[in-house]
Chains A and B, each alone.
Chain A
């Protein structure tokens, strides 16, 4: 047993200290590649059962969900018509100014739709997805669903990637309140799947129900990994104290991080601008 413990310690040390392209990393990648077809197979077998469970669980809240969704649909219709007019106006202004912009979401991104293979643990909020560098994905590629931002790719092989979720302790994203323009950092909050909108100065206005989206790059010193405009969530509580410099804002994420079945990795078609 001593030999195995020693070997484990050596593996930890080497694996921890080597760079992402190191020999041990490649061995790990080969192991992940061997496991992948089996994981895909197991996931396909389990899917009908998971769907059946989801369907039954959904029935419990169906009535209240229906009422809430109808309300939200009415609001969304109004906002959509206003938004369409604003987009048209914005396009006209950009054309008039001959405005040169960085990659825009979603038009400048190639979506890579892929399945979630699992891999969540209590220690890290992460999932393994069934697409890797062979599909054009690279480290730091943003990952979204139809609902909003999920996280970023933090490790990958040719055919699989590790996505660190927005709810992980090490994740943070620069975000903006789309209604008031207040900027801050969205990061994990207390409790599973909770997010907070942090570093928002008290003098800036943020209200309950405000929509929070990714802010994109605001400073050439600290370029953001995410393009402007990916939905994150809506504000569900705002507070502030006399002693604190920043507001305390909690966000209800649009993405259900506990039941991710498939995601979209956003591979940019336009190279990221580099600061001189």
Chain B
């Protein structure tokens, strides 16, 4: 069951990377571009938890960096952290809340932009703060939120939410 889940998520992320590179990155609405990969990853992390989210984030980031000739590891690092964090949020409080996907995508889109900018700056690469934080951030945020609802519905059908027994294996209760 776990392997089947992993295979489904793997195929989904592979094609999401392809769509992100070839189609989503070309869509420009008011200066913003949708980040389909981030949205799909957040939904997977929310449904499957932090470890799953982190591994999915690492693999998807690595593939995205390869596809765009980027510095290998940059997207992996950011997506790993985002996947883990949102997986943790889903595991502890957010999973059954209807606003959790929208809230997760909104918060991560904002933090992702700041973190990516800081990382590119530290690496001495092009880091146009005005373009990323002023011109593109809010249109991108809106586009990501628009994508979240259909993506959540689709991924939820593909990756069935964990039942109580499955969750007990994921969360270790303390105290």
Contact = CB atoms under 8 A, between A and B. Distances in A.
Asked if A and B are interacting partners, one says yes
Given A4-B54, A4-B76, A123-B126, 16 more contacts: A4-B55, A7-B58, A12-B73, A12-B77, A16-B71, A28-B66, A31-B63, A35-B17, A39-B67, A46-B22, A119-B67, A123-B116, A123-B117, A126-B68, A126-B69, A128-B67
A9 B119 CA distance: 11
Nearest to A171: B126
Contacts of B128: 122-123, 169
B170 interface: no
Nearest to B79: A8
A119 B66 CA distance: 11
B71 A32 contact: no
Nearest to B75: A8
Given A1-B54, A9-B73, A12-B73, A120 B81 contact: no
Given A35-B67, A42-B18, A128-B67, A12 B74 contact: yes
A192 B50 CA distance: 37
Secondary structure of the A contact surface, majority rule: helix
Interface in B1-57: 14-15, 17-19, 21-23, 25-26, 28, 31, 33, 50-51, 54-55, 57
Contacts of B166: none
Given A1-B84, A35-B18, A50 B126 contact: no
B73 A10 contact: yes
Interface stretch (B95-103, B130-138, B146-154, B156-164): B130-138
A40 B61 CA distance: 20
B112 to A, nearest CB: 11
A118 B23 contact: yes
A46 B140 CA distance: 20
Given A8-B73, A128-B69, A42 B50 contact: no
Contacts of B110: none
Give the residue among B66, B68, B116 with the most A Cβ atoms within 10 A.
B68
7 contacts: A4-B80, A30-B66, A39-B21, A42-B23, A120-B26, A122-B113, A128-B69
Given A122-B128, A122-B131, A168-B126, A8 B80 contact: yes
B72 interface: yes
Nearest to A8: B77
Contact of B123 (A12, A43, A122, A258): A12
Nearest to A35: B67
Interface of A: 1, 4-5, 7-16, 24, 27-28, 30-32, 35, 38-40, 42-43, 46, 50, 117-124, 126, 128, 155, 162, 168-170, 192, 258
A10 B71 CA distance: 12
Nearest to A161: B69
A4 B77 CA distance: 8
Contacts of B51: 1
Interface residues of B, number: 50
Give the residue among A9, A12, A121, A126 with the most B Cβ atoms within 10 A.
A121
Contacts of B127: 123
Given A123-B120, A192-B31, A35 B63 contact: yes
Given A8-B76, A9-B73, A119-B68, A169 B23 contact: no
A258 B55 CA distance: 33
Contact of A117 (B22, B76, B81): B22
Contacts of B84: 1
A221 to B, nearest CB: 25
A32 B66 contact: yes
Given A118-B21, A123-B127, A38 B15 contact: yes
B78 to A, nearest CB: 8
B24 to A, nearest CB: 8
Contacts of A39: 18, 21-22, 67
B66 A8 contact: no
Given A9-B73, A169-B128, A118 B33 contact: no
A118 B25 contact: yes
A119 B18 contact: no
Of all A-B residue pairs in the complex, the 9 with the closest CB atoms, nearest first, are: A31-B66, A11-B73, A8-B77, A12-B73, A15-B72, A162-B69, A39-B22, A42-B22, A8-B76
